[in-house]
């Protein structure tokens, strides 16, 4: 299975002055943890790292300090995650019929989650790892008044990996570019094209490192894994 890792963000919500994936987490750059999970996922045979040119030297340095036995390709990122994944899709080898996409920032995903997604992707055109929502969610209007409390049993929090048939996802991205759709994940493009996206139970620990508190939580989780 081919794996694309979007790693071309900035980390504005982290308040970082550089790509947050270069921040050290328990002795290793954040992205190193993601790459180690990809290395240990037996289903993954090829890794595309989507990064910004100014981070290239740091990304290569990460690779030189960990053991990755699989072919790795660097791909130039775009100004949004959507644009970065679009670029990644263009660079996939011709033989890639299906692809998993996993955020570099979700560095606690286990190899088992990647392998489960790869196995299920053989049976469906699109999938998303997700977990049920634990909180009661409120819909609020622009004056700050709650207008709805949706039924929680239908709410899932999106994660990555997300996986797709390459031809279909490329067509969805192309349509999104033509029509000016702006989305935060690839499943949303599939949905907008009325294509089915299958839920794969994700992992509660598979958080996206977004703000400084996530770093502290991630460190706790990694330490508890021993
Ligand atoms: N232009 C971009 C923006 C984001 N990403 C990647 O998409 C994933 C999810 O994005 P997010 O966590 O929002 O990362 P940032 O864009 O870095 O964060 P922020 O929105 O706080 O700036 C991350 O692995 C990030 O590196 C990307 O490849 N290209
Ligand atoms: C793809 C994603 O990680 C799924 O949770 C997420 O949508 C990335 O973007 P966000 O803007 O940080 O939600």
* pLDDT, tens digit, 9 for 90 and up, residues 14-58: 998 899 999 999 999 999 999 999 999 999 999 999 999 999 999
Q: Is any atom of ligand 1 closer than 6 Å to the C-beta of 30?
A: no
The dihedral region occupied by 15, where left means phi > 0, alpha psi between -120 and 50, and beta the remainder, is left
Residue 36 exposed, middle or buried by CB count within 10 Å (0-12, 13-18, 19+): middle
Distance 158 CA to ligand 1 centre (A): 15
- Judged by its nearest atom, the ligand closest to the C-alpha of residue 104 is 1
What domains can be seen in the chain, in order of their start residue?
A: 2-225 (3.90.550.10)
Alpha-carbon span 82 to 99, nearest angstrom: 15
* pLDDT, tens digit, 9 for 90 and up, residues 130-184: 999 999 999 999 999 999 999 999 999 999 999 999 999 999 999 999 999 999 9
The pLDDT score that the predictor gives to residue 76 is 98
Q: Is any atom of ligand 1 closer than 6 Å to the C-beta of 6?
A: yes
The pLDDT score that the predictor gives to residue 218 is 98
How high is the ipTM of this complex?
0.97
- Judged by its nearest atom, the ligand closest to the C-alpha of residue 8 is 1
The values of phi and psi at residue 173, to 5°, are -65, -40
Whether 226 shows a pLDDT value over 90: the answer reads no
Distance 82 CA to ligand 1 centre (A): 10
Q: Whose CA is nearest to atom 11 of ligand 2?
A: 184
Pocket of ligand 2, beta carbon within 6 A: 81, 103, 158-160, 184-185, 208, 210
- For the question of whether the overall pTM of this predicted structure is more than 0.95, the answer is yes
* pLDDT, tens digit, 9 for 90 and up, residues 41-53: 999 999 999 999 9
């Amino acid at each position: 299975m081919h794996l694309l890792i979007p790693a071309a963000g900035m980390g504005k919500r982290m308040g970082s002055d550089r790509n947050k994936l270069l921040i050290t987490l328990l002795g290793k750059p954040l992205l190193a943890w993601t790459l180690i999970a990809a290395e240990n996922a037996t289903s993954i045979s090829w890794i595309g790292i989507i990064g910004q040119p100014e981070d290239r030297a740091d990304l290569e340095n990460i690779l030189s300090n960990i053991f990755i036995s699989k072919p790795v390709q660097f791909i130039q990122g775009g100004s949004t995650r959507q644009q970065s994944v679009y670029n990644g899709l263009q660079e996939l080898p011709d033989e890639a019929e299906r692809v998993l996409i996993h955020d570099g920032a979700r560095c606690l995903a286990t190899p088992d989650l990647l392998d489960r997604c790869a196995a299920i992707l053989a049976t469906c055109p699109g999938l998303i790892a997700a977990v049920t929502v634990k909180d009661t969610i409120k819909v609020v209007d622009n004056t700050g008044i709650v207008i709805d409390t949706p039924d929680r049993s239908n709410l899932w929090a999106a994660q990555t990996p997300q996986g797709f048939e390459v031809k279909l996802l490329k067509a969805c991205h192309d349509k999104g570019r033509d029509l000016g759709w702006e989305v935060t994940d690839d499943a949303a493009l599939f949905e907008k094209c009325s294509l089915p996206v299958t839920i794969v139970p994700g992992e509660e620990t598979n958080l996206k490192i977004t703000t400084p508190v996530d770093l502290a939580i991630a460190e706790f989780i990694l330490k508890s894994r021993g």
